[in-house]
Amino acid sequence: MKRAVIFFDKFLVCLIILPIIALFGCNLVTNTDTYEYVDMSPRQISITNNVDTVNLVENVKSAVVGIACSVSGGYSIGSGVAIREGGYILTNEHVISGAKNITIYFADKTNAVATLVWKDKSQDLAVIKSSKDMPYLVCSNEAPRTGEDIIAIGTPLSLDFKHTVTKGIISAINRTVELENSNGTISYMQNLIQHDASINPGNSGGPIINYKGEVVGINTLKASEAEGIGFAIPISIGSSIVKNVSQDVNWKSSYMGIFSLDNDVAYFKGNNIDFSQKGVFVAGIDQNCESKNCFKNGDIILEINNVKINSVLDLRLEIYKYSSGDILNIKLIRDGKEMEIRYNLQEKM
């Protein structure tokens, strides 16, 4: 598996965009947009039948926002999409990381402030809440299909280009991307959706949408050494999180204290396991929590409370059903033998 070189880590307008703006004599936020009526009344946007691209965009764009955050050294630019009533917007964690304030820009050329509700760097996801209610989209409850048509809507490069639409297909699913962190360590993003809709810095946090008007994923990164290879986080993760935080603003994701890999990924990284074995491989353990007393490197998690776990995505979705303090019955394979353990979920700090 080749390492992808990623450039969506942080998009600072003052460092990257302002020299371009000075060259072409543009403003950061254009004031020359012609008026275009957009229905921003709060509602769930539903499309009963497949539509063409023009009508799809007309229907869904009111639920997508551009995001500008003031951070140390300038502005971070990104995108987001509302997926629940009350102005709950899903975006990337790296878009709002270190934000002193958050401004969101709507399709009707107005704007509002937003507050941070939840974030998780390891998932590269965050939930912000708009001060103004707005339309929201339905999340797809079906697994994405390779070859499926999608559009991406976002804010590439600067706020001048907010609500830019590109079109593509889902190129593959369940992709794993290897990332080199700033401290020299290696981490992985797994179960990603690969697509070929054009995305650039600033598209981070924006949605890919199918032709039913449903959110399929949240753009997070792209390969810089290739064209048409972008990656999105499956919406099943984000929709579960937004549901939890909208019901309890103090909700925090629970923590198993392990770093895990899909079994096939673990196999190709040189671990001596059965390639065909379903489950999730425990590749690392947080030594500062209870996990060190429950798990061992090399464990393969098979089930949680009788629910089969075939991938890291399955594991995360199952954990989000529970709260810190809940007891999980976990079936796993250790040293070639099947066994069960009980684990007390902890709160992720």
Nearest to 98 by CA among 73, 122, 80: 73
Residues 6+ apart with CB under 8 A from 293: none
Residues 6+ apart with CB under 8 A from 37: 108
163 belongs to the catalytic site: no
Task: Choose the catalytic residue: 62, 124, 140, 160.
Answer: 124
The structure tokens listed for 265 are 């990924």
Predicted local confidence at residue 156, as pLDDT: 94
124 belongs to the catalytic site: yes
Q: Which domains does the chain have, with CATH numbers?
A: 13-247 (2.40.10.120), 254-347 (2.30.42.10)
CA atoms 86, 246, 58, 219: torsion sign: positive
Indicate the angle between helix axes 235-247 and 312-319, nearest 10 degrees: 10
CB 231 within 8 A of CB 152: no
Q: DSSP letters of 43-59?
A: -EE--SS---HHHHHHH
Task: Choose the catalytic residue: 94, 171, 246, 253.
Answer: 94
Strands 230-234 and 125-130: unpaired
Predicted local confidence at residue 292, as pLDDT: 75
Predicted local confidence at residue 274, as pLDDT: 67
Within 13 Å of residue 4, how many CA atoms lie on the same side as its CB? 24
Task: Choose the catalytic residue: 76, 204, 239, 246.
Answer: 204
94 belongs to the catalytic site: yes
pLDDT of the chain along its 349 residues, tens only? 344 444 444 344 333 332 322 222 333 333 345 557 899 999 999 887 778 999 999 999 999 999 999 988 888 999 999 999 999 999 999 999 999 999 999 999 999 999 999 999 888 999 999 999 999 999 999 999 999 999 999 999 888 999 999 999 999 999 988 887 777 777 788 899 999 999 999 999 999 999 999 999 999 998 877 788 999 999 999 999 999 999 987 888 787 888 888 888 877 666 767 666 788 999 888 877 767 788 999 999 999 999 999 999 999 999 988 888 889 999 999 988 999 999 988 776 5
